[in-house]
Structure 1
Amino acid sequence: MRRYGSCLLLVLVGAAVLRISLFSELYLRYVQAGLRPYLVVSGGVLVLLGVGMAVVRRTVDDHEHADGHEHGHGIGGPRVAWLLTLPALALLLFPPPALGSYSAEREAAQQAAQGVGTFPALPAGDPVELTLGEFGSRAIYDSGRSLKGRTVRMTGFVTHGEDGTWYVTRLRVTCCAADATTSKVEVRGAADGAPPVDTWITVTGTWHPKGELGTDGAWPPVVDASAVRRVTEPADPYETR
């Protein structure tokens, strides 16, 4: 059985990749949607490679037995190598959750990096759906004050700060979860107070100006909430940049 350890490992890893990319949308916890085809192909190749290696080794075994000789090649390797199956099984059976409040809180306060300027006008009609990144950019850098007088709606998970402050938060990715950065908006005026950490919510409200544009004093931006509604975690928990 030890001779087939590497084959089993390849099949397990491939099956785990296929499980999160082909048979579910769990891959969105780790990478952007555009990478799905590459994950599916990679998982399929690993499964086929593992099965192919097993077939070849079985053929060699049968040939040796027919000749009455045991050549001793391909003999398993150290038993500790079987431990490599544990992370593959873990990914297959218990995929880790998306990044949440712990990852968001590890990032230091954002620094003004893009400079103050004007932004395009928001779409007509209230409330207007915005990502947290869009709201934050306009709140901190928009000299045209396009958020003034507008009702906005944003979705994210809850993180808590000091002195009773709390935020609607979302992680933003460029490629995958490894490069995630934080977008968050302080929520004020919610009738029922702060929901538990990591609860997914949709906040409706208006921009509350704070600090001088383009400075650390304007971050994090603030929304005066008129409604806070609990929602289920979206299939894609990240915002893209």
Structure 2
Amino acid sequence: MVPAALLALTGCALLRISLLSDLYLRYVKEGLRPLLIASGAILLLLGLVAAVRLRYRDGEEGAEHGHEGAEHGGEEAERGHTHSAAGPKTAWLLGVPAVMLLLFAPPALGSYTVARDGSGAVAKRTAFAPLPAHSPLALSLTDFTSRAVWDEKGSLKGRTVRLTGFVTPHNDAAWQLSRVVVSCCAADARVLKVEVHGVAAPPADSWVTVTGTWRPDGKAPAVDAAGLERIPEPKNPYRDTARP
């Protein structure tokens, strides 16, 4: 029954995070939700079918062999084959991740991941659309960091911007406003970070919106903050969008 139980557990876990909640957004992008729901339903169905077939087969074997089957089973046990029908007991270890997803879900990637990302890489861009004239200007961290590093025309100079992300401790001089962006799933996560000067850092992993101006004299993208607002964690923490 071990394989059937593992299939059913895994299917239930997938359905819990994709069909019954939005927890799947902590692991994969939005477009994969239908596939997760379909996979969970198929695995649960396979587990139930396997359990029914095993129960039916065991019932038939018991009726046919009677005491002879019981004696044979005793001999098998003496030879050390007690787990042959159900599979190795170590297979239950595969069910641990499924049980964890059923009981509680790990949080999305946050400051721990950012603090251990030493690349500091910013995607290169060669063309930038003109910025709107209104102020403050709501920008995604992707747009802000690209302009701060690669825009030779200095379109951010003198502009008041609004940036949203979570808090990552950095050093005594500044903390980092961060985002983790995924293309497909958490395994291909890319880190975005902006140094924040001028305001004290809230607790790590707090989600905030910072209002300030571009600080062009640093090696990394940075802002001189004039204001900060605590906000709830977005429904999809891996989507780098600007907050009006």
Same fold (TM over 0.5): yes
**1:98 and 1:8, CA in 2 relative to 1: closer, same or farther beyond 3 A?**
same
**Aligned-residue offset at 1:74:** 6.8
C-alpha separation in 2, matches of 1:18 and 1:82 = 20
Q: Deviations over 1:146-175 (max 9, x none)?
A: 222322211111111122420111112111
Equivalent residue, structure 1, for 2:215: 208
Maintained 8 Å contact 1:118/1:144? no
Question: Cα 1:173–1:240, aligned 2, differ >3 Å: closer, same or farther?
Answer: farther
Q: 1:26 aligns with which of 23, 39, 53?
A: 23
The percent identity for this pair of structures is: 53
Cα shift at 1:227: 1.3
3-state DSSP of counterpart to 1:41: helix
Unaligned runs of 5+ in 1: 212-216
Q: TM-score, normalised by structure 1?
A: 0.86
Secondary structure of the corresponding residue to residue 226 of structure 1: strand
Further displaced range: 72-81 or 17-26: 72-81
Give the CA deviation at 1:124: 3.9
Displacement of 1:125: 2.0
Matches within 5 A, 1:58-207: 58-69=55-66, 70=69, 75-111=85-121, 114=124, 117-190=126-199, 193-207=200-214
2:210 aligns to what SS in structure 1? strand
- Aligned counterparts of 2:119 and 2:88: Cα–Cα separation in 1: 48
CA RMSD of aligned residues (A): 2.2
Return the offset for 1:86: 2.1
Larger Rg, first or second structure (1 or 2): 2
Determine helix, strand or coil for the equivalent of 2:98. helix
The one-letter code sitting in structure 1 at the alignment partner of 2:89 is R
Residue correspondences, number: 228
* TM-score (normalised: structure 2): 0.85
Unaligned residue ranges in structure 2 (runs of 5+): 74-82
- In the alignment, the residues of structure 1 paired with residue 122 and residue 143 of structure 2 have an alpha-carbon distance, to the nearest angstrom, of 15
SS of aligned partner of 1:239: coil
Please report how far the alpha carbon of residue 11 of structure 1 lies from its aligned counterpart in structure 2 after TM superposition: 0.7
Runs of 4+ in 1 over 6 A off after TM superposition: 71-74
Seen in structure 2, the aligned counterparts of structure 1 residues 90 and 225 have a Cα distance that, compared at 3 Å, is same
